[in-house]
Chains A and B, each alone.
Chain A
Amino acid sequence: MDKESVAQEDAELKALSQALHQLYDPVLDEPVPARIITQARARRPLWRMAAIAAGWITLGLGTGMVAGWQLHAWRASAPLQAEMPGFVKRAAVAHAVYSPEVRHPVEVAADQEQHLVTWLSKRLGVKVHAPKLGDAGLSLVGGRLLPGESGPVAQFMYQSQNGRRLTLYVRAESSKHRETAFRYARDNSVGVFYWVDRDCSYALASADLGKEEMLRIATLVYKQLEQ
């Protein structure tokens, strides 16, 4: 390349650089969202403390990923509320609608679990499971198929001995490998932990259980689904 065209290239790159700065530099002056500051300050001791607070240090803090999750769950949910995805909202509403049902809480009851799981897997197009939550004192009531934004979703319902209920809302994702951290949101009285893992999005919802107990259950669910 001759000298002149090199100079021209340089000038052009410089102009491009200036335009890019003009476009994106305003971001530098925006206030940084709280969730990002919290994440940036997430030193290990902090999540260890969070783990103790959440009461499940005994589960073992194997990987950094699990640790990161805890932190997500532990920190205040306020900044996330404004960003509640539509699917989480739907999970909360589905919980609010079906969990008070006495006679028809589910479409297919737990005594036909195999049929339920096979049916829902077929409709969602991915293999879904009903996690065993006996360790958390919850037994499967059953499940149902629901309409999501763009297709079928599944809802599993669980219940404790004293009648407290929890639902797991599962939506198939068209693409794989995407994982997100554990996030928590509240919709009126319903608390929701949600995450994306491989081929599904999950939202665990309950109006009856506390956040810490739900975190413990969410961890249980995640571990079982990983296997």
Chain B
Amino acid sequence: MNDADSIVELIPRLRRYARALAGDRIAADDLVQDTLERAWSKLHLYRRGTDLRAWLFTVMHNVYVNQVRALRPVAQLDEDLPELAQPAREVDSLVLRDLDAAIRSLPPDQREVLLLVALEEMSYDEAASTLGVPIGTVMSRLSRAREKLRAMLSGLPPGGGKQLKVVK
């Protein structure tokens, strides 16, 4: 399998992570596209035989950090877009939707760690090398992220989840 095939195969994973990271569909796909563009221009830096997925996630992390630093003018550019339908998104209860919102409100560095560990199921070690930070930083960010999530999700009115259940 050549590089292009290997990369294409990983696109769904990149898109999932990007969606969780960036939020809306267009911003997420822009992030994936910019990541792939950067990946091709930096492919000589990829060491053969190492985990391509982890390398692409690192590239995405770098692209994302730059975008966050720029305070996302993309969102502004897209303000006139019609709302896209969101198919296949089975957010079937308020609890899940709250989780989505809670994840979104985490600081980007904590959100990244949380997603790499809990969604991408990376070890602390892998997450640390993907983000280029010490493992201790990964652990402290993860614990802060979880603390915040706990606080946000427990702040719901009791029974609210059931009351406002979204019909499938």
The answer to whether B149 and A16 touch across the interface, beta carbons within 8 angstroms, is yes
Separation of A68 and B41 alpha carbons in the complex (Å): 8
1/0 per position for B70-101, CB-CB distance to A under 8 A?
Answer: 11111011111100000111110001100110
- Prevailing SS type, chain B contact patch: helix
Q: Is B69 an interface position by the 8 A CB rule?
A: yes
The answer to whether B12 and A28 touch across the interface, beta carbons within 8 angstroms, is yes
Complex contacts, A24 vs chain B, CB 8 Å: 16, 19-20, 119
1/0 per position for A86-103, CB-CB distance to B under 8 A?
Answer: 110100000000000000
- Which of these, A13, A25, A89, A174, contacts B73 with CB under 8 Å? A174
The answer to whether A67 and B146 touch across the interface, beta carbons within 8 angstroms, is no
Separation of A20 and B42 alpha carbons in the complex (Å): 31
Q: Is B34 an interface position by the 8 A CB rule?
A: yes
Interface size class for chain B? 35 or more
> Which residue of chain A has its CB nearest to the CB of B19?
A27
1/0 per position for A75-118, CB-CB distance to B under 8 A?
Answer: 00000000101110100000000000000000000000000000
Tell me how many residue pairs across A and B have CB atoms closer than 8 Å.
137
- Which of these, A23, A26, A43, contacts B3 with CB under 8 Å? A43
The answer to whether A41 and B8 touch across the interface, beta carbons within 8 angstroms, is yes
Chain B, 19-51, CB within 8 A of any chain A CB: 19-20, 26, 29-30, 32-34, 36-37, 40-42
What's the minimum C-beta distance from B70 to chain A, rounded to whole angstroms?
3
The answer to whether A65 and B20 touch across the interface, beta carbons within 8 angstroms, is no
What's the minimum C-beta distance from A20 to chain B, rounded to whole angstroms?
4
Separation of A65 and B35 alpha carbons in the complex (Å): 12
The answer to whether A23 and B20 touch across the interface, beta carbons within 8 angstroms, is yes
Of A29, A40, A65, chain B has the most CB atoms within 10 Å of the CB of A40
What's the minimum C-beta distance from B157 to chain A, rounded to whole angstroms?
19
Q: Is B115 an interface position by the 8 A CB rule?
A: yes
Listed in ascending order, the chain A residues whose CB lies under 8 Å from chain B are: 12-13, 16-17, 19-30, 32-33, 35-37, 39-44, 63-65, 67-68, 71-72, 83, 85-87, 89, 149-150, 173-178, 180-181, 196, 201
A33-B29, A37-B8, A39-B37 known; 10 other A-B pairs, CB under 8 Å?
A12-B146, A19-B95, A19-B96, A25-B16, A42-B40, A44-B40, A64-B42, A83-B78, A85-B77, A178-B70
